[in-house]
Amino acid sequence: MNIGTSGISGQNTASATLTDLNDRLKLAKAQKAQAQKTAADTLNEMPKKTRDDARARAKAKVMQLVERLKIIKELGKSDPKIMAKMLANLMKELKAAVKDYAKAGGNDMDVSGFSAAQSTASQPVPDSDAETESTAETETTEAAEEAAVSDDTDSVTEDTAAEATPTTETDAPGEANAPYIPTPADIKGAAEAYVKTERQRAEGELMEVNDFMKQVRGLVKVVKDLFETAKIKLAFQKVDKDTVEAFKSSGKDMEEIDKVLQDLNKGLDDERAVYGPRAAIYA
């Protein structure tokens, strides 16, 4: 009797150990899957983070130049030659910052995906009442057909009928494991949520780029005005070669900056057209 009890106890212990091992294995697999997903998400975010970091450095540089310009204006009041040379150096640094911003890459927007979602969101959901009526008509027709052939099924035995009739226990697992099929309303709702989120993000990114371009153009305008002031003051003075070069190089730098900004702006035209009238404001 004791031997039998010991055998059962041993089987229970082995079963418990096996269950514990299975649970640990499932946990390890889940943790590995989560780690892989996290790593994949990180890799996907790297290009965006690299772009954002490069843009942030360029914007910080422009802000530094705005502050430096205030100092140059004060120093240049007494010596337009010095001001011209300092402005020339400032323009070179501004040109480099603008190019770095543009090279960082465009906005993180899936225009084709947004257009597809927008099309789905605009589609009307099928009338549920019409579907219900159609279903009811089908069920009525099927019931009539079953009644018409009921005489032919009288010869079927009760045992055969019992075997053919699925039990609740048999149906339950199948229902539990049945895959979820989204309804047209579910699909439309998901598309609407995606469109709303993407439009808000797109408008935010477009506004950011627009603010940067506006700030750069404003800075260039101030520098251009200061050069005009310096030119007037130097009209009746002997100008050295370096000062002349400062005027020439600054003019070329201004043209290059304007070209980069124009290209950057054109690259956003498709996004403005897709994301709607509010996005078009940031043109």
Residue 136 has pLDDT above 90, yes or no: no
Element (H, E) at 205: helix 184-233
pLDDT of residue 250: 95
User: What is the overall mean pLDDT for the chain?
Assistant: 75
Asked which of 28-32, 77-81, 219-223 is least confident by mean pLDDT, the reply is 28-32
pLDDT of residue 236: 86
3-state helix, strand, coil in the chain (%, to 5): 85, 0, 15
Range among 34-43, 102-111, 170-179 with highest mean pLDDT value? 102-111
pLDDT of residue 188: 76
162-184: buried (b, 16+ CB within 10 Å) or exposed (e) per residue?
eeeeeeeeeeeeeeeeeeeeeee
Element (H, E) at 126: none
For residue 217, the one-letter residue type is: R
Mean pLDDT for 87-97 is: 97
Given a contact cutoff of 8 angstroms between Cβ atoms, the answer to whether 94 and 102 are in contact is no
| Cα 89 from Cα 86, distance rounded (Å) | 5
Given a contact cutoff of 8 angstroms between Cβ atoms, the answer to whether 69 and 223 are in contact is yes
What is the pTM assigned to this prediction? Answer: 0.59
Pick 63 or 19 by higher pLDDT: 63
pLDDT band at 19 (very low <50, low <70, confident <90, very high): confident
Asked which of 56-70, 187-201, 255-269 is least confident by mean pLDDT, the reply is 187-201
Residue 181 has pLDDT above 60, yes or no: yes
pLDDT band at 193 (very low <50, low <70, confident <90, very high): confident
Token code pair at residue 10: 């041993």
Mean pLDDT for 227-237 is: 91
Residue 49 has pLDDT above 90, yes or no: no
3-class DSSP assignment, residue 21 = helix
| Cα 227 from Cα 72, distance rounded (Å) | 12
